Amino acid sequence: MDNFRRPQRAKENNEFVFGIRAVIEAIKAGRDIETIYVQRGLSGPLFLELKSLLIGSLIPLSSVPIEKLNRMTTKNHQGVIAVISPITYQNIEDLIPAIFEKGETPLILVLDSVTDVRNMGAIARTAACVGVHAIVVPLKNAAQINADAIKTSAGALFSIPICRHSNLHKTCLFLQDSGLQLVACTEKTNDLIYVPDYTLPTAIIMGSEDEGIANDLLRVANHLAKIPMAGKIESLNVSVAAGVILYEAVRQRTV
């Protein structure tokens, strides 16, 4: 997996770029941007230039009240603040062929709408420990990679590739076309997590704790698998659940 790692410079806090022109120049310079916050109702030719620049990009744009921007900085932000990402997002379409070429069996983790930064950090830490090749997250409804996420991950977010894509359904179809089976971890099945053969190239899909995995992803999954529950509490924290199923994959691959 070392070939897929890009050393990152650790940052205690995410950097801000504020002002429309400054954000435009940051995008043109190829800075990795976590998200862009825009004041609701903002208009004007410079803002239209920014919007046109974002067409086809993988940078989330969030419309927020001006009060949120004012809390982020007291300086003249002109209604636009970009949060610079502490990591470099990668592309799963580039990673999968490289994994096969290296002679390894891909193990990918897909996170559907996991928005809590500490869950993201904890999942990344476990994923790095078990040898997951990459984590795939959606463009929207995903946890920000910020100082809290990095701290919780114990730095794992700097060592495991994070791939951000605008359409998880299409990304999962790409993974299938590339020879990976999709295993969706969900309670909507009678099959336990021990049923799938994880020695095969595999992408494991985890969903948010409140909504679970989206139906369009469940429909394309090759296997639906649930974690056995015997106690009175019927659900696990998503980071714990991810650890349970990932270590079943490790168990099968090391027997």
Encode pLDDT of 143-185 as tens digits. Answer: 999 889 999 999 999 999 999 999 999 999 999 999 999 999 9
Question: Which CATH number goes with the domain that contains 25?
Answer: 3.30.1330.30
d(CA 216, CA 73): 39
d(CA 142, CA 91): 16
Q: What is the largest CA-CA distance in the chain?
A: 62
CA dihedral 170, 172, 175, 179 (to 10 degrees): -120
Q: Is there a single domain that holds both residue 201 and residue 97?
A: yes
* Confidence (pLDDT) at 14: 57
Rounded to the nearest angstrom, the gap between the alpha carbon of residue 96 and the centroid of all alpha carbons in its chain is 16
Contact 80, 47 (CB under 8 A): yes
Which uninterrupted H or E stretch holds 201? none
> Is 2 part of a structural domain of the chain?
no
Asked whether the predicted pLDDT for residue 10 surpasses 50, the reply is: no
SS3 assignment, position 129: helix
Rounded to the nearest angstrom, the gap between the alpha carbon of residue 42 and the centroid of all alpha carbons in its chain is 29
Q: Is there a single domain that holds both residue 161 and residue 212?
A: yes
> Is 55 part of a structural domain of the chain?
yes
> Is 10 part of a structural domain of the chain?
no
Mean pLDDT across the stretch 103-114?
Answer: 97
d(CA 232, CA 105): 37
* Confidence (pLDDT) at 57: 82
Nearest to residue 54, comparing CAs of 139, 136, 114, 167? 139
Which residue range is the domain that position 41 belongs to?
15-84
Tell me the pLDDT tens digit for each residue of 72-88: 888 889 999 999 999 99
Last residue of a domain, one of 84, 105, 132: 84
Handedness of CA 63, 211, 233, 187 (dihedral sign): negative
| Residue carrying structure tokens 């991810």 | 242
Q: How many structural domains is the chain composed of?
A: 2
Strand order in the sheet with 80-84: 15-18, 80-84, 33-39, 61-64
* Confidence (pLDDT) at 176: 98
What is the pTM for the complete model shown?
A: 0.86
Q: Is there a single domain that holds both residue 77 and residue 110?
A: no
> Is 206 part of a structural domain of the chain?
yes
Q: Is there a single domain that holds both residue 135 and residue 173?
A: yes
Report in angstroms the alpha-carbon separations of 111 from 116, 130, 241. 11, 16, 12
Q: Is there a single domain that holds both residue 45 and residue 166?
A: no
* Confidence (pLDDT) at 70: 92
> Is 71 part of a structural domain of the chain?
yes
Other C-beta atoms closer than 10 Å to the C-beta of 250 total: 16
Nearest to residue 250, comparing CAs of 206, 211, 194, 170? 194
